[in-house]
Amino acid sequence: MISKSLEEYLKTIYILKKQNGNIRVTDIAEKMNCTKPSVNKAINNLKNNKLINYESYGSIELTEEGENLAKKILEAYDIVYLFLKEVLNLDKEEAEKEAEKIKLSIKDETINKLAKYVHKVLDLKSLDCNYDINKERCRSCARRKISIQSE
């Protein structure tokens, strides 16, 4: 289990990887509006947790475990964002800001319940498979159900 702060670094690394392919400490510092020493400290912690591979002055690579955790973090943010924007009708910018704050303080069990509620209210897909944000199988099952329904 890593801190919420390290989760934000991991999420940023994942997003930058998808956008640019090659990630450097400078890229993370710019994206997160923080100092390079702060990024280096976080990177060393992520490396010690086996979530990234990194050698000084080299590029940063997510491990499989790191990538899976980053996806989970983003999915949790998306669930909170959808609730705020689509259910509570906040404007996009407000929903983004609030989702960031809420995601940092919410437990996985609460995210699971919120996901079920959001998907039911928005009629997005069925989560009758005992959805759990920590289980890839359940997310895949839910995605498969929506693709079958749209055919």
| pLDDT tens per residue across all 151 residues of the chain | 788 889 999 999 999 998 888 888 999 999 999 999 999 999 999 999 999 999 887 889 999 999 999 998 888 888 898 889 888 999 999 998 999 889 888 888 898 888 888 877 777 655 555 555 555 444 444 444 444 444 4
d(CA 9, CA 91): 26
Model pTM? 0.74
> Can you state the angle between helices 4-20 and 64-82, rounded to 10 degrees?
100
Which fold does the domain 4-62 belong to in CATH?
Arc Repressor Mutant, subunit A (1.10.10)
d(CA 95, CA 139): 23
Domain layout of the chain by residue ranges: 4-62, 72-150
- Give phi and psi for 55, each to the nearest 5: -120, 145
